[in-house]
Amino acid sequence: MTKPKPKIAKKLKAKPVIKVAKTERPQATTPGGRAGLPPPSIAAPAASQATPDPAASSSPTTPVTPIPPTDAALPPPSPVVTQNVVTQNAKTPPLTQPIVATPKPPKVIICLSGKGGVGKTTVAVSLGLALQHMGYSTGIVDIDIHGPNVPTALKMRDCIAEMDGATRTIEPVVHPSGLKVWSLALKYRMKGTPEADWVVPENQPIMLEGQTKLKLVEQFLTNLDWGTLDFIVCDLPPGSSEEVVGAMRYLNPIGAIGVTTGSDLALEDYYRIRTMLEHFKIPLLLTIQNMNEYTCPKCGTIQSLLGSNQIEGNGEVVKVPMQQEVADTKIIPDFEQVAAMVIKGVQAA
């Protein structure tokens, strides 16, 4: 009788263990103090704002120069307005009333683009100055937290905003034109103290994650004391990031201005932004096709340096040429004509 062979245990190879190093994420400091009030529902679009049809013919284009300003077509500046900056719950987007309830809050116009570098901030600043010059009390708020350039465009980088120590509210700085300005790129100080500090230090990036950015925008908008205004122009970051979506919910905008160039890449992202506006039912008041063409100062030859594609779909398009004057001053001349078109769009919205 043969003996059974003993079983030999197989040696198992140990699987390698992948170790992931945990790193500390940098956090940005922000001014303290806020009231947690969520914003009102977004206004329904006007009946005339139809969904753009990609198969439709090219949009009608309007040059910047030939439109004469018509005072009769413009509404008189409103004498009774107040702030409409609001906030929301950190997790959900339920929206309620503004901080200060008045019969007529200011009309909020957002300026946005699908891609950076198309001149969105220049358009926002030019629109704010044009509305102020036309007699409308206007403010501009710089919500592009990763690239706050409004103070630089207005040559106000060293201006100081004051904070009330008791209420923690901040008064925006005032441009010589009367335009009220607030941005994370400004300095601020407590009332009655000489020391001023940056909201965000110069050349310091803001490196935050989604919910933290939303809370920063929420606190940033809630603490501002605009006083009485007719319009607030908001310079939003390019794309559709958290702070863009959050700001559109908080501010209850009356309409939007889209900015793009004629290049294929810029237009591809512009159409995405236009779809986002349709989702939130925010009327597109106007599209600015910026840096459309360049005229050589020596020979007079006109060239399309950034592409000359036509914007598809419905809606009015204003083509702004590339000018050395704008590159130097960061302000588009004769923009009151465009502002008059925006006001007519606001009246129809």
Residue 180 phi, psi (nearest 5): -90, 135
pLDDT given for residue 38 in this prediction:
40
Instruction: Report residue 242 as tokens.
Output: 């958290």
Structure tokens at 23: 């790193």
Average pLDDT over residues 247-253: 85
Q: Provide the residue type at 52 as one letter.
A: P
The more confidently predicted of residues 343 and 246 is 343
43-52 mean pLDDT: 42
pLDDT tens-digit map of 270-295: 999 999 999 999 999 999 998 888 88
Q: Identify the residue with better confidence: 106 or 188.
A: 106
Question: Residue 4's pLDDT is what?
Answer: 60
Q: Which CATH superfamily is domain 81-348 in?
A: P-loop containing nucleotide triphosphate hydrolases (3.40.50.300)
Q: Other C-beta atoms within 10 Å of 133: how many?
A: 15
**Residue 132: per-residue pLDDT:** 96
| Two structure tokens written together for 227 | 């006083």
Angle at 223 between CA 217 and CA 224, to 5 degrees: 95
Q: What is the mean pLDDT of the chain?
A: 74
Q: Is residue 27's pLDDT more than 50?
A: no
pLDDT (average), residues 84-105: 38
How confident is the model at residue 133, as a pLDDT? 95
Higher local confidence (pLDDT), 336 or 212: 336
Check residues 98 and 255 and name the one with the higher pLDDT.
255
> Tokens in use for 201?
């230090």
For residues 231 and 130, is the Cβ–Cβ distance under 8 A? Answer: no
Which tops the pLDDT comparison, 48 or 108?
108
- Give the pLDDT band of residue 69 (cuts 50, 70, 90): very low
Residue 236, pLDDT score: 92
Domain ranges of the chain: 81-348
Query: Is residue 12 predicted with pLDDT exceeding 70?
Result: no
Compute the Cα dihedral for 306, 308, 311, 316 and give only its sign. positive
End-to-end CA separation in angstroms for the chain: 100
Query: Percentage of the chain surpassing pLDDT 90?
Result: 30
The pLDDT-based confidence of 339 (bands split at 50, 70, 90) is very high
User: What is the Cα–Cα distance from 343 to 349, expressed in whole angstroms?
Assistant: 10
Write the pLDDT tens digit of every residue in 290-309: 888 888 888 888 888 777 77
Q: Place 240 in a pLDDT band, splitting at 50, 70 and 90.
A: confident
Mean pLDDT on 95-103: 38
Instruction: Name the range with the highest mean pLDDT among 95-99, 176-180, 237-241, 324-328.
Output: 176-180
Q: What string of H, E and C letters represents the secondary structure of the chain?
A: CCCCCCCCCCCCCCCCCCCCCCCCCCCCCCCCCCCCCCCCCCCCCCCCCCCCCCCCCECCEEECCCCCCCHHHCCCCCCCCCCCCCCCCCCCCCCCCCCCCCCCCCEEEEEEECCCCCCHHHHHHHHHHHHHHCCCCEEEEECCCCCCCHHHHCCCCCCEEEECCCCCCEECEECCCCCEEEECCCEEEECCCCCCEECCCCCCCCCCCHHHHHHHHHHHHHCECCCCCCEEEEECCCCCCHHHHHHHHHHCCCEEEEEECCCHHHHHHHHHHHHHHHHCCCCEEEEEECCCCEECCCCCCEECCCCCCCCECCCCEEECCECHHHHHHCCCCCCHHHHHHHHHHHHHC
Given a contact cutoff of 8 angstroms between Cβ atoms, the answer to whether 123 and 248 are in contact is no
Mean pLDDT of 5-19: 46
Average of per-residue pLDDT across 167-189: 90
pLDDT-derived band of residue 40, with 50, 70 and 90 as boundaries?
very low
Q: Is the pLDDT of residue 216 over 60?
A: yes
As a whole number, mean pLDDT of residues 56-77 equals 45
2 pLDDT exceeds 90?
no
Q: When comparing pLDDT for 75 and 279, which is higher?
A: 279
Spatial contact of 279 and 308, defined as CB atoms under 8 Å apart: no
